Every structure is written in structure tokens, then in C-alpha cells.
């Protein structure tokens, strides 16, 4: 089986192995490099065996089915809250620190491993490494996500995210205080060429739009609600960094905070149309205790 990908303007100039790593996050970079060198990849019909080949906009990349790395997709008893479930879907409250699916850096102990232990059926559209996963949250972002139990539900929910009938709302504590009480952040985002773990604001990137509203102001930080108009990787984290008010505890885009394991970002609200009934379903979960404890220590203004 061959998979085909098109190189868009925001991807031009990117290395072939880096581009494919974004398409196959379950594989390590060295594994993809090895597959390229084995002749598994062609660009515009021409066999390419150099991982560092720079891509041009408009090119088509054909990838033969990649050999599987030894990553666990076995069922594991992992703690997380199932907020709701029926025959088509489940709504999960993911705790901070839990990776959503296996990848090269985390081969087991993920939400997917836990889902396989607790839920009998999951959609197979994303293959054996990401069964049921319609959208993701970063490892250290807590909160709600919806999981599909069959392909019918998966296709419908994915389309809702694309068409914006699925709404996701987040709460975060930012360093310092935003100037405006509410507003829209609109930039173009792309993987950082100097650090592939990061996303940065670049004119050649993909459009990213985030709405924000300040709920509480403290002397040294503020509590802000965010809603997404687009769903780019690390979008809220990059946008708050762009405003020079990164999320408290964000070790990648801000600074590490003693006593916190990661950023204070929580997906507290999720709303979508049920794939089978078209009924609007809305779920909310409270802030984690460590998030509340941090706020209690702050002096409100």
C-alpha cells in the first residue's frame, strides 16, 4: 500500500525526513531515514534515497508502507476519566502528563494503551497506533477530547473539527497581564527550523486564529479563556508566547516553574454534534487541583 502526500507552500524547503516525520509521528527520525535509504520513498515519481533532500512546493511524495517499529499498542491499565460514552464515541478527561498515542519517544503507557484496556471497540482510520484518536492534546495539557468507536463516528467528528461545528475551549494562566480584556490572535505558524520540537510564527506557515478573554487578573499573572478557530500544533502555547505572555509552567515556550509538572493549560469545555443523532452535546470538567492551588496563591487585582 502506498500513501501520497502533497508539498504545500508552508512545507517548501523542509527536509524530506522531517516532512515525513510530521506525517508518521509514530516513527522515529532514524527509522524514517532508514526507510528512505532503502528506497521506500519517491518524489514526483523519482526514487529519492537522501533524507536531507529539500522539498519544493507542488511536489508529490509517494511512500510505500513503512516497516513497523517495535512500539506497544497492547492494552494497559492506565488511569483517566471517561466522562461519557455510548456505542459511537467516548469523551475522555485526560490528565496532565499522559501522552495521547505511542510515538518514537513514548512507546507505551499512553492514552491509546489505556483505551484498548477499557474500551472494546475503537475506530481504525488512524491505524493500529492511533485507534479512535480524532484530535489530540499535548502531553502536559489536561482536559477533554473525544474518541471515536467506529469509522462512521470518526469521519463525522473529524469533519466537524474541520468545519468548526466542534468547539473547544481552554483555560490557562499566563505570565503577567494581557493589555486587552479580549481579542483575536491571528498569525501563520510553522515548525521552527532551528528546533523541530517547537512551532513558531512564520509568514510561510499555516493560518492560525485564537480568540481570548481575560477572566481574572492577578498581580503577576492572569486567567484567560481561549477558543480555537483553527487547530494547529501548540497553537495556544505559541500564540501566548507571541504576545510575550507565555503560559505559566510551559517549559518549551516559557519557563519551568517549581512545583509544576508542565503548563497550566486545561481543555475545560468540548461541544459537538453527535454523529448519529446530530444532537448538540456539551461537556465541561473542572480545573485540576494543582491548577486551582496555583490560583489560590495569587493575589487578585
**DSSP β-ladder status, 142-148 and 265-273:** parallel
- Nearest Cα residue to 287 out of 93, 137, 138: 93
pLDDT value of position 278: 96
* Active-site residue identified among 11, 88, 138, 140: 138
Distance CA 178, CA 224 (A): 9
Catalytic residue flag (residue 138): yes
Q: How far is Cα of residue 76 from the mean position of the Cα atoms in its chain?
A: 22
Cα separation of 265 and 252, whole Å?
A: 13
Helix (H) or strand (E) run with residue 295 in it: helix 289-296
Please name which of 266, 301, 234, 274 lies closest in space to residue 96, comparing C-alpha atoms: 266
Q: How far does CA 237 lie from the centroid of its chain?
A: 11
Q: What angle do CA 166, 172, 173 make, to 5 degrees?
A: 170
Of residues 84, 85, 125, 83, the one with CA closest to residue 101? 125
CB contact at 8 A, 209 and 236: no
Q: CA nearest 23: which of 113, 151, 135, 126?
A: 126
Cα separation, 19 vs 16, in Å, equals: 5
Residues of the chain with pLDDT under 70: 1, 25-26, 65-72, 104-105, 126-129
Grid coordinates belonging to 17: 525526513
Distance CA 84, CA 77 (A): 19
Residue 129 has what pLDDT?
Answer: 62
Domains and CATH numbers, the chain: 2-64 (3.10.290.10), 81-163 (3.30.2350.10), 170-266 (3.30.2350.10)
The span from the CA of 84 to the CA of 89, in Å, is: 8
Provide the grid cell at 252: 518549551
CB count, 10 Å around CB of 189? Answer: 22
Neighbours of 56 (CB within 10 A): 13
115 closest CA partner among 125, 97, 103, 129: 129
Sign of CA dihedral 24, 27, 33, 39: negative
pLDDT in tens, 91-108: 999 999 999 987 766 778
| CA proximity to 241, closest of 147, 169, 146, 175 | 175
Rounded distance, CA 138 to CA 149, Å? Answer: 21
Amino acid at each position: 500500500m502506498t500513501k501520497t502526500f502533497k508539498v504545500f507552500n508552508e512545507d517548501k524547503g523542509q527536509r524530506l525526513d522531517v516532512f515525513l516525520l510530521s506525517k508518521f509521528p509514530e516513527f522515529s527520525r532514524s527509522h524514517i531515514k532508514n526507510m528512505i535509504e532503502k528506497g521506500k520513498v519517491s518524489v514526483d515519481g523519482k526514487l529519492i534515497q537522501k533524507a536531507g533532500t529539500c522539498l519544493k512546493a507542488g511536489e508529490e511524495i509517494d511512500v510505500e508502507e513503512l516497516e513497523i517499529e517495535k512500539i506497544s499498542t497492547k492494552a494497559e491499565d492506565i488511569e483517566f476519566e471517561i466522562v461519557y460514552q455510548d456505542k459511537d464515541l467516548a469523551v475522555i478527561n485526560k490528565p496532565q502528563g499522559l501522552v495521547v498515542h505511542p510515538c518514537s519517544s513514548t512507546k507505551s503507557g499512553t492514552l491509546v494503551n489505556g483505551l484498548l484496556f477499557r474500551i472494546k471497540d475503537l475506530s481504525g482510520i488512524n491505524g493500529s497506533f492511533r485507534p479512535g484518536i480524532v484530535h489530540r492534546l499535548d502531553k502536559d495539557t489536561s482536559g477533554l477530547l473525544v474518541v471515536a468507536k467506529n469509522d462512521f463516528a470518526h469521519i463525522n467528528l473529524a469533519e466537524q473539527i474541520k468545519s468548526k461545528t466542534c468547539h473547544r475551549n481552554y483555560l490557562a494562566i499566563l505570565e503577567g497581564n494581557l493589555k486587552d480584556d479580549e481579542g483575536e490572535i491571528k498569525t501563520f505558524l510553522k515548525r521552527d527550523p532551528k528546533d523541530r520540537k517547537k512551532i513558531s510564527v512564520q509568514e510561510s506557515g499555516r493560518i492560525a486564529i485564537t480568540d481570548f478573554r481575560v477572566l481574572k487578573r492577578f498581580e503577576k499573572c492572569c486567567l484567560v479563556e481561549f477558543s480555537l478557530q483553527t487547530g494547529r500544533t501548540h497553537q495556544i502555547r505559541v500564540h501566548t508566547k507571541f504576545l510575550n505572555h507565555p503560559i505559566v509552567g510551559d517549559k518549551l515556550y516559557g519557563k519551568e516553574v517549581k512545583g509544576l509538572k508542565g503548563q497550566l493549560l486545561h481543555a475545560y469545555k468540548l461541544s459537538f454534534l453527535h454523529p448519529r443523532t446530530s444532537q448538540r452535546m456539551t461537556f465541561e470538567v473542572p480545573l485540576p487541583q494543582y491548577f486551582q492551588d496555583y490560583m489560590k496563591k495569587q493575589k487578585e487585582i
